[in-house]
Structure 1
Amino acid sequence: MDLIKRIPSYLLLGLLASAIPYFVTVALIMATGDRIDGMKMGVFPGVVLVHVLFGIYILKYKWLLKSVLILALTVLVFSLLMLLMQLGWVLRPGWDIYGYWDLVVTNYVVGFFVWESFFQIAPQFMNKSQPLK
């Protein structure tokens, strides 16, 4: 399946990458009563949950293989995102003073490249089957 056919999937990834961290962060801000603490606590679940839900919806393999792939790809995205943040290579749209949207946009871009790399490589190793819905 080529990239053009995956555009709706990547639109879903963009929606998830924008909405999930927002709602997780808002819930944790309300739970902690502190904006900064809530935002700090919301980083990990907000980033990880995006790719777990995306993988659950998109990948069409047996549950064990699907679970392993989702875990591996999510860990890869999160690791690359943390590495980029450590190196200071975060996309900076400047939409807020806290850097929240910097993280969201960078998460989407890193996720896009990791997932697209997977979709390009997977058919060569998995009996030429398409991993996408």
Structure 2
Amino acid sequence: MTLTVSIDTTSSVPHYEQLRSQLAALIAAGTLPDGERLPTVRALANDLGIAPGTVARTYRDLEAASLVRSRRRVGTLVTAPPATLDRAAVTEAARHFVRIARDHGLTDSEVRDAVAAELVRNGTASSPIR
């Protein structure tokens, strides 16, 4: 499996949060389907040029959110998110938002910051933004 995730070293968003949000988005969109095995912590850390502890923290956060489960000798597997909302509508809204942001010249970091700020305003952010 080839993962299409990247780390922006110039962003103020911590590496683990960048990785967590990208993987969560891939899972929510169905790009990473139920049962898909994620790369090992060491392999993904090596591919991204980050510390293994960063990837391990990301995997723990994803497991706490019930998006993956980790088992010894099996690895880290994607668990399908509950179908409690129309994910296609949310995905389309996200595409639309990104198109507007691009039209206005926002960088990836600025787009993430805008979403994070809106989550904070709505009181839905699950962790403080650093």
TM-score, normalization by structure 2: 0.30
